[in-house]
Amino acid sequence: MTETANATSPGAPKRAARRRQGMLPGRQDWSTWPHYQAAASGFRGYWYPVCFADQVGDKPRKVRLLGEDLFVIRDGGRIFGMKDRCPHRGVPLSYGNKQFPGTVSCVYHGWTFQLETGDLVAAITDGPRSPICGKVRQPTYDVEERLGMVWVYVGDGERPHPIDEQLPEELVDNAAVLGQRIQPRAGNWRFACENGYDEGHAKYLHRAALWRLFKPMPVWNTTKIVKRGRWIYRVQEKQYWEAEFPGLGRWSGQAWYKARPPKETRNIGNTSSHREVNPVIAAQEFPGFASVAMPGVLRIAYPTFIHYEFYVPVDADNHLYVGVMADFQKGVRTLPFYVKYLGAVRWLFHGQFSGQDRWMVEVTDAPPERLYRPDESLLQWRRLAEDTAEARLDRLREQGLTPADPTA
């Protein structure tokens, strides 16, 4: 993928105008969205989930995130993050270990850094009064634990926003039982996010997935995209369960063994029969069942649970797929979820169904691209990303901070 930032080119105002209109005709590159185009390795200024919390102990665990190499380590009940490259001779600090509480020592010559601050507090092989001490500081990362996972903030020296401001709101305030999968996958994170929010593919690509076997899907539907807060929602307007293609014939995704299509269009879950909606989910009053937010979080609301996908940029060619299924129940009412999740959902949804997405993300090769009507969903996501990134850069500049060059 060749990409260049193009923020100040003479065509920029024209592109901005076209972006405001939403759709661009004909073949497209991505220069309409210069920040998005430049964000091959991800958007800085966000918290990203990197592993499960119980995978981090008192030995360093390597992480690659937004093209940066770091490690996480637990000490005194807290998890810390630090840049992985030892500043002495450049070996990975994650090969080292803890020699003193609250520190990590490099495996090579024993330079010892405080986990909290990154300060070099000892150089073991230069004795207790080594003059290098106090003169070197290793970059550290802010780390939080949420939803059973470790989240790392990658920014440009700004104060991180509270992680709860970035999580899906309903996960912050409500008890939920979670089923999760974290999977390293090939392909750019933007393809993964675009695939997740892509209007057209689920009805066709996934029509034969086991997860969909007994559930009807429309052939096509009309949709509008609605912005509410920091999310954009796909709102289904009219669904067509079969269609006559001129000169070709009839096409339908229905089969005798599938449930009957619902009579009306609904925006909580788009398939199968009406069911009672979980009160926490109902209370959100989501305008549409599929929504996406920065920095690449997908939310699919079903009547009884919500499925989330976090697309975590590892580097320009790899991402982490983090699938989270949340059932808003407490106590013994969580038991049916475990049975359902471990017995079926984990394999059918997070496994085979999501494996079809994985395959498409691996083989997507864009730009250039030639978009069609349902790709309005992709365009609106790019627009959200672009506008949010621009606002963040303005804030950084106001604070006198220099953002990292995403194309470097």
Near ligand FES by CB under 6 A: residue from 46, 48, 80, 111: 111
Dihedral in degrees, nearest 10, Cα atoms 98, 101, 103, 105:
-30
Cβ pair 203, 378 in contact under 8 A: no
Total number of residues binding Fe ion (CB under 5 A)?
1
| The two three-digit tokens of residue 378, written as one number | 């992709």
Please say whether the beta carbons of 326 and 308 come within 8 A.
yes
- Beta carbon nearer to Fe ion, 65 or 202: 202
Task: Indicate which of Fe ion, ligand FES, none lies near residue 327 (CB less than 5 to 8 Å, by partner kind).
Answer: none
Name which of 202 and 294 has its Cβ closer to Fe ion: 202
Type of residue at 151: W
Eight-class DSSP state of 50: E
State the minimum distance, in angstroms, from the CB of residue 72 to ligand FES.
19
Q: How far is the CB of 132 from ligand FES (least distance, A)?
A: 10
List the structure tokens of 95. Answer: 């090969």
3-state secondary structure of 130: coil
Mask of contacts with ligand FES, 53-92, x by CB under 6 A? ---------------------------------x-xx-x-
> Rounded CA gap, 149 and 230, in Å?
23
198's contact among ligand FES, Fe ion, none, with CB below 5 to 8 A by partner kind, is none
Q: Indicate whether 124 belongs to the interface with ligand FES (CB under 6 A).
A: no
| Residue 170, number of CB atoms within 10 A of its CB | 18
Identity of the residue, 3 or 357, whose beta carbon is nearer to Fe ion in the bound complex? 357
Separation CA 199–CA 357 (nearest Å): 13
Interface residue with Fe ion, options 357, 380, 381, 386 (CB under 5 A): 357
Give 138 or 270: the residue with its C-beta nearer to Fe ion: 270
DSSP 125: G
Give the one residue of 109, 181, 258, 340 binding ligand FES; rule: CB under 6 A: 109
End-to-end CA distance of the chain: 14
Stretch that binds ligand FES, among 52-60, 106-114, 269-277, 335-343 (CB under 6 A): 106-114
What is d(CA 314, CA 319) in angstroms, rounded to the nearest whole number? 5
Q: Which residues bind Fe ion (CB under 5 A)?
A: 357
Q: Which residues bind ligand FES (CB under 6 A)?
A: 86, 88-89, 91, 106, 108-109, 111
